[in-house]
Amino acid sequence: MRLSTFLTTAFALTAYAKPVTGPVQEEAVPKQSFNFKRGLGTESKHLRLETRQETEQTIGSTGPNPTVEGYAEGAFASGHPYGSTSGKGSIISGGTNNRVDIENPSNLGQDPTDNGLVPNLKWWFSDSKTRLLKGGWVREQVIQDLPSSKDIAGAQQHLKKGAARELHWHRVAEWGFVYAGRVAIGAVDEDGKNSWDVLEGLDDENEYLLVFDDGNFVATGTTFNVDDWIAHTPKDILAKNFGVNASLFDSVPSPNPYIAAGNVSSEGIDHPYGDLSANKSSSYVIHSGDVTPIQAPGGGGTIQIFDSRSFPISTTIAASVVTIKPGGLRELHWHPTAEELVFFAQGQARATVFAGNTNARTFDFAAGDTAVFPDNSGHCVINTSDEEDLIWIGIFKADRVADISLT
């Protein structure tokens, strides 16, 4: 197990998180992608934070535009399950959420190729209960929300400037992607090696996606917070364990804060037992600016892959960041080794899933939605916007990203 203020196995940073490593070598100069950049460097054996402001564009959008040409036809565009061509269906006369119906014409039966029974494969983070904390918030998507996602659970977490996610560890692996702001990350492994690249917000507002390689993340015995442990241990035992006066533990918070407000730290740290960030194989951080995007033939989009080949410490979680241009299509394909959990970070999409034995279902997605594509299920994703790039993060409980294209 590895003790950290944020993560226990792996963390991928966008340019919004500035690395706090040694001087950047010439070969490490990043390639441009989504305006991701590297920012910090230091000659000191201490790792000290740089808090200069950048003018990066945050990934994200607030909702779909269902008025785009081709998004919905006929009565479906008004939120009614009626096909003017087929003559099937009729209007909804009873209670309904018309806005949701308009934004999700696929659920109304618009796609004539849908067939059979495919379970729900979609969750909205907007339907998750948000936990408000001093210094930020968190909301989760676990197996109780999306039963089809057995391998992966997810969460959105937000830190205000100077706030920190308290010291903790997990039974499961944790992986994260910063899509707004900048954060500093620290970790300690079982041999005492550490890094400071403690989860702390550096900009006024900072936000990221977290994923865990177990859909039942809320099960007892999965998350362990240090303040929680200390608060439930007798003070005389604590005093004896640490060789200090018991009164030092009079102010231990209870319940544990989870996220604590604070100020950005300028203090550095030493590495008496070794530096986790000293080499690629033990680093908990990878910067997306250092991962070359693969350009799709024809210019329809890009894909960046973060797995054990580029991020060696991440042996149980692999990920891809996919960008699709307006009207572009992620071609028909399937994943032979693991189910895929998708977090739609920006834009709007439509995906059709083929589950075999004539079963198929189409879903509409917007920023903040998650989807799960069962392993070996055929699927494709199209950008339904006429002006905005679609960006999603695909997560797999595997050591590498693997897919088979129908073409």
Domain ranges of the chain: 3-26+142-287, 74-108, 292-405
* Averaged pLDDT in 10-residue chunks for the chain of 407 residues: 37 35 36 29 30 52 88 94 91 95 96 96 97 96 96 96 89 94 84 65 89 94 92 96 95 87 76 72 86 91 96 96 96 98 98 98 98 98 96 98 95
Q: Can you read off the two tokens belonging to residue 4?
A: 């950290």
Residues tagged in the binding site annotation for Mn(2+): 168, 170, 174, 333, 335, 340, 379
Q: Do 81 and 106 touch, CB atoms closer than 8 A?
A: no
Nearest-angstrom CA–CA distance, 279 and 281: 6
**67 Cβ contact list (under 8 Å, min separation 6):** 77
Token look-up 């379970």 returns: 119
Instruction: Report the CATH number of the 292-405 domain.
Output: 2.60.120.10
Q: Can you read off the two tokens belonging to residue 73?
A: 């036809």
pLDDT at 39: 28
pLDDT at 63: 82
Nearest-angstrom CA–CA distance, 216 and 140: 11
In 3D space, the residue among 389, 336, 395, 377 whose CA is nearest the CA of residue 119 turns out to be 377
Domain 3-26+142-287 bears CATH identifier 2.60.120.10: yes
Nearest-angstrom CA–CA distance, 227 and 397: 30
Nearest-angstrom CA–CA distance, 207 and 332: 32
pLDDT at 260: 87
Q: Give the HSE-up count for residue 371: Cα atoms under 13 Å, Cβ half-sphere.
A: 25
Question: Which residues are 141's β-sheet partners?
Answer: 154
Residues tagged in the binding site annotation: 168, 170, 174, 333, 335, 340, 379
pLDDT at 268: 66
State CA 194 to chain mean position distance: 24
In 3D space, the residue among 98, 102, 121 whose CA is nearest the CA of residue 110 turns out to be 102
